[in-house]
Structure 1
Amino acid sequence: MVQDGKPKTELQMAREQKRIEKEKEKAAKQAKAAVAKGMKRENWMDYMQVLIDSKIAEDKGGTEMLTTLELEGMKCDVISQPLPNTISFIRFELSADDGIVSKTKIFEDTVLLVEQAETVAAHVQSDNLVTHVRQCISILSEHVTCTVTLLVLGFDKLMKSKRKGTINRLDWEQGVVALQMELNVSTYIIKDTAQLVDNVRMYCKALGERPHKLKHHKDLFIGTSKTPLFVDREGGGYLQVFIAQLQDIRSVNEAVATAVAQQYPSPVILSNYIDSTDKDTVINTLAGIPVRRGVGTLANVRRVGPEAAKRIVLFYSSSDPLQEIV
């Protein structure tokens, strides 16, 4: 290589290479920090966008909703949706690669269908509300797999109307219950624009926070962050499942569960012992099981204890499915 007409020495070239590597490392750290900051749970509004169908935006209430959301700092866009009168959501996911921050657009699987109460009532009276919503879902499924929620405007005004043929509340309830049972579509009555804004904000916030909640709670499931527990055909894994089951009982941690399982290596053996022995004797026996914690000089031994023993006995002896174990 040549610098100012003079060839670079090996030392200069090594320094140059080291400088370039440091700049790459710095850029990678900055990109990673930018992603972490931009994707914080409390910053959900920064990476969420609300897509509002043009027919909703043209309505007076829709215009007020759009203005309110934008004043609150939410990103909104008015488009012609595949299905009219719908509101959908986009989440932007940031990622860092070679020091460059990129943004991926993800269409969320939740769609809000906004309809006037008179329209919904007409479908209920014609006994085709389920058919109508099924057709709406079919149109949406051509573009995205989603869950639909029905938001109904003007319900109170409809119920107060004295016009002939106005739907009664019982027919209405039967219609929305059928919708829930057959299509798993929930229906919510929206009183005014303020409540419509609240619902849109609520859904947007929930969708924005969902990845963080899933990541935070995934270790609460059996198997934690490792491979989920299961029992194979030869019975392998049975003891691990039993230990995990014991940990569902309050104040029974992994060390206590392991100690109990070493004495009674299956739920059947433990249940048979509980059923065939006086309860006080069982509680005293379980309470006295030694629990070893730590290794080496930090090792110590304690007991299961009477409170945990009582809960274990109640858990494996009660025939009441609603029994509370406190």
Structure 2
Amino acid sequence: MEVRKERSKSDVEANLPKISGKHKSKQSHTTNKILKESQKVLKHSLNFQKVMKREDYIKNIVVNIDETVLLEKYGQEIKSHLESKGLVCRVTSSVSGLISWTRKLPNTIVSMFSNKTEIDEKQYFLIIPCKEFRKLVRERNLTPHVKFIHEIISFQHLCVAVFGMENPSEVEEEAVMDIEFSFKCFWQYVNKSEDLANWVMMATKSVAEIPHKLEQAEKYESQKQFFDSVNKDTVRIDKNGNGLNRLWRQILTVFPLVNLEIAEAICAVYPSPKALFDAYASSTEPEELLQDIPIRRAHGPLTSVRRVGPELSKKSTRSRTWC
């Protein structure tokens, strides 16, 4: 959807006719009033999707069914099932076997930004009869067929239902895998019209709730950024495991009498909770396990060394179930 940029106050005033004297104040007041009203409508329009309930999103969806689908018995069952759920179905002429979705726009957005009353979603559903599917695989035309469809509709995601088949052969599975390496396609083999209609309904619901899912993802990301920046005790751990040692030290400092120096000393000998737990399990005198670990203070000529000591070693033994 093309959205026109809202003009700033300076842009509006620059295009107004020059007014002198007693009329200038009145004109400025009118301009400010118009700007405030426009901003109010804009805010309402952009937040329209956010105030909707999750179950209401589907009310703005139109299901576009290619005319070739309705020539089949399963096509009529799909249409009847969708309409029984209160959905609007529209017969189109696009790609053979294709089902797509259109989202209606709120009237406020239409009046403010565009003459369009709806937008097309980039998710599609393709039904291929078993006989046609096997012919495409046999003639090695399955990948070119999907590529041709992608060139026409530029899908972001494509659900493909092979109707009339339960278990594909090894050759057919390999052909499908070749496509999945190149395109975002999900394949399903369906043998009953009822199951196919239910799957189309589930896909329709999923497409309808895309704004809700994007909103939740955005909310989660903003919360994650907040806690990452505000919580000073947060320990970042990347996919390579960097940060685990720091997390282990932080865990140790939670226990009484354990400060950062003691935690670093224990970590130097037992670099992970598992290492410490295994040492306790194999020790004949677990209460003395930590007492002789050296704690180094400062560096260079002023370095001093002391031990963890028996008291802390004994207390940690009593609490070792946390390991």
Letter in 2 for 1:116: P
**TM-fit CA distance, 1:198:** 1.0
> In the alignment, is residue 88 of structure 1 matched against residue 80 of structure 2?
no
Do the aligned partners of residues 101 and 256 (structure 1) sit closer, same or farther apart at CA in structure 2, a change above 3 Å counting?
Answer: farther
Question: Residue 235 of structure 2 contacts residue 243 of structure 2 at CA under 8 Å; is this kept in 1?
Answer: no
TM-score w.r.t. the length of structure 1 is 0.55
Indicate the SS of the match to 1:61: helix
- Indicate the residue corresponding to 1:132 in structure 2: 141
Do the aligned partners of residues 35 and 310 (structure 1) sit closer, same or farther apart at CA in structure 2, a change above 3 Å counting?
Answer: same
**TM-fit CA distance, 1:144:** 0.6
Find the aligned partners of 2:125 and 2:86 in 1 and give their Cα distance.
Answer: 20
Question: Residue 99 of structure 2 contacts residue 125 of structure 2 at CA under 8 Å; is this kept in 1?
Answer: yes
Matches within 5 A, 1:86-125: 86-92=98-104, 100=112, 105-124=118-137
Do the aligned partners of residues 228 and 80 (structure 1) sit closer, same or farther apart at CA in structure 2, a change above 3 Å counting?
Answer: farther
**TM-fit CA distance, 1:122:** 3.9
Which consecutive unaligned segments of at least 5 residues does structure 2 have?
A: 1-21, 291-315
Letter in 2 for 1:132: N
> In the alignment, is residue 150 of structure 1 matched against residue 145 of structure 2?
no
Count of aligned pairs between the two proteins: 250
Letter in 2 for 1:47: N
- Indicate the residue corresponding to 1:241 in structure 2: 236
Find the aligned partners of 1:228 and 1:181 in 2 and give their Cα distance.
Answer: 39
> In the alignment, is residue 200 of structure 1 matched against residue 200 of structure 2?
yes
Matches within 5 A, 1:166-205: 172-184=168-180, 185-205=185-205
Find the aligned partners of 2:136 and 2:30 in 1 and give their Cα distance.
Answer: 74
Q: Which whole-Å deviations, capped at 9, do the CAs of 1:295-324 have from their partners, x for residues lacking one?
A: xxxxxxxxxx99x9866x4xxxxxxxxxxx
**TM-fit CA distance, 1:87:** 1.5
Q: Which whole-Å deviations, capped at 9, do the CAs of 1:173-215 have from their partners, x for residues lacking one?
A: 3144214432224432333333222111111111221332243
Question: Residue 109 of structure 1 contacts residue 147 of structure 1 at CA under 8 Å; is this kept in 2?
Answer: yes
Find the aligned partners of 1:97 and 1:146 in 2 and give their Cα distance.
Answer: 24
- Alignment identity in percent? 19
**TM-fit CA distance, 1:116:** 1.8
Do the aligned partners of residues 100 and 175 (structure 1) sit closer, same or farther apart at CA in structure 2, a change above 3 Å counting?
Answer: same
Matches within 5 A, 1:1-326: 24=38, 27-28=41-42, 31=45, 34-37=48-51, 39-81=52-94, 83-92=95-104, 100=112, 105-124=118-137, 126=138, 128=139, 131-142=140-151, 143-155=153-165, 172-184=168-180, 185-217=185-217, 224-225=224-225, 240-242=235-237, 263=260, 272=271, 274=273, 275=275, 278-279=279-280, 313=323
Do the aligned partners of residues 34 and 194 (structure 1) sit closer, same or farther apart at CA in structure 2, a change above 3 Å counting?
Answer: same
Do the aligned partners of residues 14 and 221 (structure 1) sit closer, same or farther apart at CA in structure 2, a change above 3 Å counting?
Answer: closer
Letter in 2 for 1:78: V
Indicate the SS of the match to 2:169: helix
Indicate the SS of the match to 1:76: strand
Letter in 1 for 2:148: I
TM-score w.r.t. the length of structure 2 is 0.55
Q: Which whole-Å deviations, capped at 9, do the CAs of 1:255-307 have from their partners, x for residues lacking one?
A: 979969x8468xx869626436744879x99xxxxxxxxxxxxxxxxxxx99x
Do the aligned partners of residues 135 and 219 (structure 1) sit closer, same or farther apart at CA in structure 2, a change above 3 Å counting?
Answer: same
Q: Which whole-Å deviations, capped at 9, do the CAs of 1:41-72 have from their partners, x for residues lacking one?
A: 22121232222111112333313322332342
**TM-fit CA distance, 1:247:** 11
Do the aligned partners of residues 136 and 41 (structure 1) sit closer, same or farther apart at CA in structure 2, a change above 3 Å counting?
Answer: farther
Q: Which has the higher Rg, Structure 1 or Structure 2?
A: 2
Find the aligned partners of 2:102 and 2:109 in 1 and give their Cα distance.
Answer: 22
**TM-fit CA distance, 1:80:** 1.7
Which consecutive unaligned segments of at least 5 residues does structure 1 have?
A: 1-7, 157-168, 230-238, 286-304, 314-326
Question: Residue 50 of structure 1 contacts residue 77 of structure 1 at CA under 8 Å; is this kept in 2?
Answer: yes
Indicate the SS of the match to 2:224: coil
